[in-house]
Structure formats: structure tokens, C-alpha cells
Amino acid sequence: MVILRIKNANFEAIKNGTKKTEWRENSKYNKMLLFAPRQEDGKLDGNPEIKEITFINGYKADAPRLTIAIKRIRLVRFVNDVEIKEDNFKALAGQFAIEINLGEILHFE
């Protein structure tokens, strides 16, 4: 099971259905968590075994949680500056980010 902490604005946008993509920093930790090596050449791709992710809003034991179906995870390099308001996301040309395409809400607590 993959668990990611998320800010309240993003949590609420996912819960309300306005945020369809979660963006993550292209860090070693996130790659380890979200990617798997391809059999053909050992390069990393979004882990196809990740079918759902639980997003937690905060660090308290009773923090709100959303479990979301995952459509796709991939690494994206931006050729232009980008601002995606509904996703609360900005990136500069040349930057990399991990794109998590969100599906339906499976569980909310």
C-alpha cells in the first residue's frame, strides 16, 4: 500500500473531484515509492502494480484519508513553463515531475 501526505487544499480538491492529477517532486524517495524497473532494460517506469494510493491530510493518527484508484504514474519533463491551476501546480521549462493520474475515490475516512 502506498501512502502519501498531502496539503489540505489538494486533499479537498481531490475529494471534490476538481483535481485529477497529483504532482510529486522527482526525488529519490518518490521514485523508490512510485516506480519499478522495466524487465527489458532495467530503466524505471511508473509501477503498474500500484492500483491505489491513500492520501493523508496531516500527521495526526486521526487525520483525514482518501484512497484513490490510480490510472497511471509517469515521469514528465516540461518543455515550457506550466501552471495547472486546478492541480495547484507550477513547473518551469526543463523541470521533471512525477505525474499521478487519479481515478475514482475508493474510500474516504
Structural domain including 57 reads 2-108
Maximum separation of any 2 CA atoms in the chain, in Å? 43
Integer angstrom CA distances of residue 65 from 5, 18, 35: 9, 17, 23
Q: pTM (2 decimals)?
A: 0.93
pLDDT at residue 38, rounded to an integer: 85
80/86 Cα distance (integer angstroms): 18
54/68 Cα distance (integer angstroms): 6
In contact, 2 and 50? CB cutoff 8 Å: yes
β-bridge mates for residue 91, sequence order = 82
CATH number of the domain that residue 56 is part of: 2.30.130
**pLDDT tens per residue, the chain (109 residues)?**
899 999 999 999 999 999 999 999 999 999 999 999 988 888 889 999 999 999 999 999 999 999 999 999 999 999 999 999 989 899 999 999 999 999 999 999 8
β-bridge mates for residue 72, sequence order = 101
Residue 14 CB coordination number (10 Å): 22
Number of compact structural domains in the chain: 1
